[in-house]
Amino acid sequence: MKLIILILFLVIFIVALIFSVMNFHLVQINLGFGSISLPLTIALTIELFVGIMIGLLVAWFQVLKLKTDYAHLNKQLNQKSKKD
């Protein structure tokens, strides 16, 4: 299984490397307060990592809420068990 994952990772890495070499054109990115010029591959990589970070942040808040709900429900269950 680890070998299959390694091979899959290498294939994706090689495809991404080929894509980045073929798309090394400069693009203008307007930030509202200014603009910067970056290679397309760098801009896409930054967007990818920002998207991953936003997704992880949203998931982290959901997990935190679920843990809080779990602790609250567990406390209620323990209180009801003590009454019985």
Could you tell me the CA-to-CA distances from 6 to 1, 20, 21, 27, 83 in Å, in that order? 9, 21, 22, 33, 55
pLDDT tens over the chain, length 84 residues: 889 989 998 998 898 888 878 878 899 999 899 999 998 888 888 898 999 999 999 999 999 999 999 999 999 999 888 876
Predicted TM-score (pTM) of this structure: 0.62
Rounded CA separation 25/42 (Å): 10
Domain borders along the chain are 2-79
- How many angstroms separate the Cα of 63 from the Cα of each of 11, 13, 76? 32, 31, 20
In angstroms, rounded to a whole number, what is the distance separating the alpha carbons of residues 62 and 58?
Answer: 6
